Structure formats: C-alpha cells, structure tokens
Amino acid sequence: MKISQTETLALSENALTGEIPTGIFALGSIKQLLANENQNITGTIPTVIGQAVQLERLRLGDTEMGGMLPEELFDCTALKEVAIQNANFFGTMEADKWRRFTNLEDINLSYNDFSGRLPAEIFLELSGIGTFSFVSIFLL
C-alpha cells in the first residue's frame, strides 16, 4: 500500500513530540487521524486540514496543541467525531460553523478555553450526536 492510500493514521498513546506534519492532511484518502494522548504534540490544527475532505475522525485531545480552530476545519463535512479535549484550543463558538457537520456523532471540546453561546437548537439539527462534552460553554 502506498502512503497516499492511507485511510487511518493511528498514533495515540505514544511519546510523540513536535507538530503534526501538514502533509498528512493532503492525503486525499485520510479518514481517521488518531493522535490523542501524546502530551508532547504541539502546534495548531493547520489550515490545510480543509484538504482532508474524507476525514471522519479527528482525535487530538490530551495534547499540547492549541490555538483557534481554523476555518478550513469546517470544510471537513464528513467528520463524525471531533475529540480535541484537554488541550489549549480557544475561540468563540459559532453555531453556523458547527451546523456544517451534518454527520457529527461524537464531539468532545472539554477542558479548552472556548467561549460564546451555542444555541440549543443546534443539537436538534445535529440529530446524530451520541456523545457531546463541553466544559465552560454557555448554551442558550
């Protein structure tokens, strides 16, 4: 198998350090990026994540990654799971962006520094959500 055909990159619970290479997101076939529980992974979610249009599972929780979520993340409309808990992400929650994730089943944004109001009706629109975890988010 060629690296360009990789669908799952499972790197969880290792001792990885540094930033995630942006080239991973250019893999047109990538469906799962599982790099959670690597406390020494740093950096931000790169804007090239928007090229990963088949991405279904993004697990970057329990890392030292942070920053604002790039606008391009919301182009990954195939996402079923977003788990970026216990990291250093911040920004304002914008309901219109999250509405793009019509396939979303599980979301964990807890223990970051998000702010703002996320209207409760968004949860009715995202009816596939089975697990939802926010800490320090105000819901209307």
Q: What is the pLDDT along the chain (140 residues), one digit of tens a residue?
A: 456 678 888 999 999 999 999 888 887 789 999 999 999 999 999 999 999 999 999 999 999 999 999 999 999 999 999 999 999 999 988 878 888 888 888 889 899 998 877 666 666 666 555 555 555 444 44
For 90, list phi and psi in degrees, rounded to 5: -150, 170
Asked if residues 68 and 92 have their Cβ atoms less than 8 Å apart, the reply is: no
For residue 120, the model assigns a pLDDT of: 67
| pTM: predicted TM-score of the whole model, two decimal places | 0.85
Contact 14, 38 (CB under 8 A): yes
φ, ψ for residue 96, nearest 5 deg: -60, -35
CA dihedral 79, 127, 130, 92 (to 10 degrees): 60
32 contacts 7 by C-beta, under 8 angstroms: yes
The CATH class that applies to domain 3-139 reads: alpha beta
**What pLDDT score was predicted for residue 54?**
94
